[in-house]
Amino acid sequence: MMFLQFFIWGGWFVTLGSFLAANLHASGVQSALAYSTQSWGAIVAPVFVGLIADRHLNAERLLGIVHLIGAVLLFRLARAPSFGSFYPLLVGYMILYMPTLALVNTVAFRQMTEPSREFSSIRVWGTLGWIGAGLVISYGFAWDSTIALAEGQLHNTFTMCGVASFVLGAYSFTLPATPPAAGGAARSSLRRLFSLDAIGLLKEPNFLVFFGASILICIPLAFYYQNANQFLTEIQVANATGKQTLGQVSEVACMLLVPFCLIRLGMKATLLVGMGAWAVRYLLFAFGNAHEFLWMLLVGLALHGVCYDFFFVSGQIFTDDKAGATFKAAAQGLITMATYGVGMLIGFSVAGIVADDYVRAGIHDWRAIWLYPAAFAAVIFAAFALTFKNERLLDSGPLRPRSLRSRRN
């Protein structure tokens, strides 16, 4: 289930920018609109799950229905002749897909006796699915090669993902029954659906600083999602999509380092490592190339694990610690809506405008483009370093995130 769930997403999302430019001749602003469908899906997701899965329908059945409908939409996306016909299909697909991220977690958690121990070994298959999709695209079919791009072969990624979505949709009906939890209807109030129960956390200065930084750091993050594959293919890096899987490989490795860093360095330093890595990676992109400085691009790609895990995963732990027992889910929902919702919407818009400002005769000035998120990440890093007060997490047993306790320095 996890492998197919993320194979589907990674199979078209990574190459979307290259597809839009090569097949539909989309502008940077149009690419931003396409990528921002992820944000609209993230905003709708808690309402979708809360009103349907929490009240009326088994999670595994809803998962199956959504992925079967999603398969039809993906097949139609593969054949869209223009951006005008492509965009509404993508909006519909992402509004359906993003809630499935919560549904697969619901199905998984409900079958576990010790989720804190068992979930990571299940969730890692999602990362392997994302990696697998990238390797198939680059090394299996070479749809992202220079010749294939010129022939418009990237539309095949949507067909491939449509097949995977159909398989997962059918397979979902064989998963263990996951009915709505007792009292689900009562829990699905508007306050809970929109995570309003956690708003009070923003009264705490340190959490307010973290909350603001979480939104702002999504602007550099959006530059990566929207532009990285198109950048690599335009400068003719061979097997660009396959090479981008270095980011997911490093993500798995860095996940193991986060608990140790939180204990040894404290929350502030760990978050700063993640934020600083964004600035470094974009400088590497700005000055690297496909030849003698290819190593700079590869290091920049591998830094994805540091960027994501050290900030976002550590931030999830920080949020969980701040929320206490009562508002944990609401607090995580608040951060998710702020980052993948508001933050990414802003980020994709900015990335699209900057990309259009630095294109002449169809050729992008990638150095100038990448210097923008590098500078922005550096400013956020400095502001966060000056305003966030360190909080150290101490373990009281084996080194696991669930065993961490917080203590203000």
Q: Cβ(230)–Cβ(287) under 8 Å?
A: no
In tens, the pLDDT along 98-155 reads 888 878 888 888 888 876 578 778 888 998 999 999 999 999 999 999 999 999 999 9
Task: Indicate if 315 and 348 belong to the same structural domain.
Answer: yes
Per-residue pLDDT, 398: 35
Q: How many domains does the chain have?
A: 2
Over residues 165-175, the mean pLDDT reads 98
User: How does DSSP classify residue 179?
Assistant: P
CA distance linking residue 357 with residue 88, whole number of Å: 26
Q: Cβ(357)–Cβ(58) under 8 Å?
A: no
Per-residue pLDDT, 251: 87
Task: Indicate if 211 and 320 belong to the same structural domain.
Answer: yes
In tens, the pLDDT along 291-327 reads 999 999 999 999 999 998 899 888 878 887 787 666 6
Q: Which of 128, 151, 180 is the last residue of a domain?
A: 180
CA distance linking residue 141 with residue 148, whole number of Å: 9
Query: 2, 360, 1, 31: which is closest to 223 by C-alpha?
Result: 31
Domain contains 400: no
Distances (CA, A) of 147 to 150, 213, 227: 5, 41, 20
Task: Indicate if 200 and 168 belong to the same structural domain.
Answer: no
Task: List the CATH number of the domain containing 203.
Answer: 1.20.1250.20
Residues constituting the chain: 409
Task: Indicate if 264 and 390 belong to the same structural domain.
Answer: yes
Single pTM value for the model: 0.85
Q: Which domain holds residue 385?
A: 191-395
Whether pLDDT at 186 is above 60: no
Task: Indicate if 94 and 224 belong to the same structural domain.
Answer: no
Query: 52, 340, 333: which is closest to 194 by C-alpha?
Result: 333
Domain contains 404: no
Task: Indicate if 145 and 240 belong to the same structural domain.
Answer: no
**C-beta neighbour count of 186 within 10 angstroms:** 10
DSSP 300-353: HHHTHHHHHIIIIIHHHHHHHHHHTTTSHHHHHHHHHIIIIIIIHHHHHHHHHH
Query: 277, 343, 350, 347: which is closest to 311 by C-alpha?
Result: 277
Alpha helices in 145-204 (DSSP H): 146-150, 156-172, 184-187, 190-193
Task: Indicate if 136 and 196 belong to the same structural domain.
Answer: no
Task: Indicate if 143 and 202 belong to the same structural domain.
Answer: no
Q: Cβ(274)–Cβ(262) under 8 Å?
A: no
Q: Cβ(3)–Cβ(128) under 8 Å?
A: yes
Residue 269 neighbours by CB under 8 Å, 6+ apart: 261, 390
Domain contains 406: no
Task: Indicate if 312 and 342 belong to the same structural domain.
Answer: yes
Task: Indicate if 244 and 158 belong to the same structural domain.
Answer: no
